[in-house]
Amino acid sequence: MPYLFTSESVSEGHPDKIADQISDALIDNFLAFDPQSKVACETLVTTGQVVLAGEVKSKAYLDVQEIARGVVRKIGYTKSEYMFEANSCGILSAIHEQSSDINQGVDKQKKEEQGAGDQGMMFGYATNETEDYMPLALDLAHKILLELAALRRENKQIKYLRPDAKSQVTLEYDDNNRPVRIDAIVVSTQHDDFDTEAKMLAQIKKDIINILIPRVKAKYKKYAKLFNNNIKYHINPTGKFVIGGPHGDTGLTGRKIIVDTYGGKGAHGGGAFSGKDPSKVDRSAAYATRHIAKNLVAAGVCDEALVQVSYAIGVAQPTSINVNTYGTSKVEMTDGEIAKILGGLFDMRPYFIEQRLKLRNPIYSETAAYGHMGRAPQVVEKTFSTPDGKSIKKKVELFTWEKLDYVPKVKKAFGIK
């Protein structure tokens, strides 16, 4: 029987995403100057204020205030009327040294025996319903906001946009679990003030439907067939959205974990990613399980895969590895047998995850908005500066967990030609 499924996304100017981006900018700067840094950094943003808190063990000394201001400036909070502005917001740092009790469980004499930074379970998911092996509803929700942000920065076709925004996409699936059409789209965007609310609502709805949506269809042609004349549009459904960002709602690191992952498909272990160095398996093992799931589906072992791994704090070997192919397996094996083979292909000890995916590099700022998964791997050069004026450039590879580099190994292991 056909059914509906919905996913949401939020823009880089959403309060929670501002917090994520500041936390990950701090991670990147610490790792740039000291790759062995241990960092767990939380950020709170509210009207005119940024609060930084957390634990750090690092040889690097940073101007955390200027790093935070740089993030806020890049997002676009540069006007006083937003009541949260890069140059004038107050920034309080309550960052202190990491607990030695935790550190002794992570750092070991042999680096290969590095323990997990915490207990817990992490999930990775992949499906072949899109080219990037992501759930379609979430992929579309992200793409809508990426184009909306591009329109805001261009400031040509739509000139009233402010940084805060949210989107939501509802898809109809057929009896074969395949998406056939878009049923509903929700877009809420912060905006400048208008003369009247009626004029404002009419203009925004017209621009979203006639400017934004055609851009999405043109740029992502593979999705164009899903758009139809019967889509139910809900554009700024509450009406006025002038007050937004941290002035409209307090933001905290780690409150958008479903937006960051699979939009409600698959599963989530509950641990946030942003603000954590890769010794925290909440982050590194979630990337590693996505890497496994994506290569498993791309190799043709199954159409859909959910991979779970779990850890005990301070222990290197995972306590379990589990695979669920949702009955889509193309090989004559149980899911348990598939999991056993994958455990031999992918070393899931924290040190080996870090090495395989090159996670001790400053690669995290780019993950902190529009999803950690489903992004294109790429090499970029980044520049970092210290308070005393020193500057370094680093060439790094982003989104390594999205690479399909293990497809040949997976095919060989499962006898797929």
Residue 390: the pLDDT is: 86
pLDDT of residue 42: 97
Residue ranges of the binding site for ATP: 14, 164-166, 240-241, 249, 255-256, 272, 276
Measured distance CA(368)–CA(312) in Å, rounded: 26
What string of pLDDT tens digits covers the 417 residues of the chain? 899 999 999 999 999 999 999 999 999 999 999 999 999 999 999 999 999 999 999 999 999 999 999 999 999 999 999 999 999 999 999 999 876 655 555 665 677 778 898 899 999 999 999 999 999 999 999 999 999 999 999 999 999 999 999 999 999 999 999 999 999 999 999 999 998 989 999 999 999 999 999 999 999 999 999 999 999 999 999 989 999 999 999 999 999 999 999 999 999 999 999 999 999 999 999 999 999 999 999 999 999 999 999 999 999 999 999 999 999 999 999 999 999 999 999 999 999 999 999 999 999 999 999 999 999 999 999 999 988 888 999 999 999 999 999 999 999 999 998
String of DSSP letters for 314-341: T-SS-SEEEEE-TT---SSS-HHHHHHH
Q: Which of 47, 52, 57, 56 is nearest to 80 (CA)?
A: 47
pLDDT computed for residue 154 by the predictor: 98
Distances (CA, A) of 343 to 126, 280, 307, 393, 410: 18, 20, 11, 37, 11
CA–CA distances in Å: residue 146 to residues 71, 116, 215, 230 = 17, 34, 11, 24
**Confidence (pTM):** 0.96
DSSP 234-273: EESTTS---S-HHHHS-EETTS-HHHHTTTTSS---S---
Domains, the chain, with CATH or none = 3-11+136-244 (3.30.300.10), 15-107 (3.30.300.10), 120-128+257-414 (3.30.300.10)
The residues that bridge with 375 in the sheet, in sequence order, are: none
Strands 179-191 and 232-235: parallel
Annotated binding-site positions: 14, 16, 42, 55, 98, 164-166, 240-241, 249, 255-256, 272, 276, 280
How big is the chain, counted in residues?
417
CA-wise closest residue to 288 among 259, 331, 330, 318: 318
CA distance 77 to 162: 8
Residue in this structure with the two tokens 């942000």, named with its chain if needed: 149
- Residues annotated as binding site for K(+)? 42
Rounded-to-integer distance, Cα 220 and Cα 276, Å: 32
∠ CA 404-406-408 to the nearest 5 degrees? 105
SS3 395: strand
Binding residues for L-methionine, by number, are: 55, 98, 249, 280
The beta-carbon contacts of 331-336 under 8 Å, at least 24 apart in sequence, are 331/301, 331/302, 331/414, 331/415, 331/416, 333/414
Task: Give binding residues for Mg(2+) as ranges.
Answer: 16
Sign, CA dihedral 364-366-371-375, equals: negative
* CA–CA distance, 365 with 397 (Å, rounded to integer): 12
Structure confidence at residue 7 (pLDDT): 98
User: What is the H or E stretch that residue 404 is in?
Assistant: none
